[in-house]
Amino acid sequence: MQSIPLPAGEGRWALNLEAQKKDSLFGKVLENLVKEGGQFAPAIGLPGIAMTALNSFNTLYGALHAEPVQVIKSNPVRVFATQEALESTGSSAAEIGAVLLQPGTYILMSAGQAPTDDQLKSLTLAQDRIVSLKDAKLTGDDLDDAAADVDILKNVTYVTFDVQVKRTTLFTGATTKGSG
């Protein structure tokens, strides 16, 4: 979604991110056997029915292991895009567990995996990837490699997203001019 309307400057925000599991070694071997086995089955004395059974087993095994891995799953959190919307609650953002949306790039990662403030001083964000300051000008595959080489983020999953907050008017119907 490119735009998310927040009527009266308030809404709820949840983030759910899933990733596909990597194939296991067994799965890769099984897939290759199914692909290439048909050519060699007669030479090693496997009947056609064995290849059909192997193909069926491969399909079943793939279906059982096709479930995505939950990386991030959050409950909806209140978000506020305007000060007026926050003030209308009579509470502070901290008291109600809300996020005050500010324009910028957000980085989301597990709090337990987040770098310390001192470690962050040597990092920057380049094309939505966290890299060391010296690698900020890289592009393409070089930038991907530089992001993968950040030691303090090895095996850390993070998501970046850009937020732009702008006032808009939502028209819910025809407007009429006042008579007075």
Q: Are residues 109 and 156 in the same domain?
A: yes
| 51/124 same-domain check | no
Is 133 within 8 Å of 105 (Cβ atoms)?
Answer: no
Cα dihedral across residues 30, 34, 38, 41: positive or negative: positive
**What does the pLDDT average to over 145-170?**
81
* pLDDT one-digit tens code per residue, 73-132: 888 888 888 888 888 888 888 888 888 888 888 888 888 888 888 888 889 888 888 898
Nearest Cα residue to 21 out of 57, 56, 72, 70? 70
Instruction: Specify the number of domains making up the chain.
Output: 3
Give the mean model confidence (pLDDT) for residues 41-60: 66
Do residue 44 and residue 108 come from a single domain?
A: no
Tell me how far the alpha carbon of residue 96 is from its chain's centroid: 25
Q: In terms of pTM, does the model score above 0.75?
A: no
Structure confidence by residue, pLDDT tens digits, 24-35 = 777 777 676 667
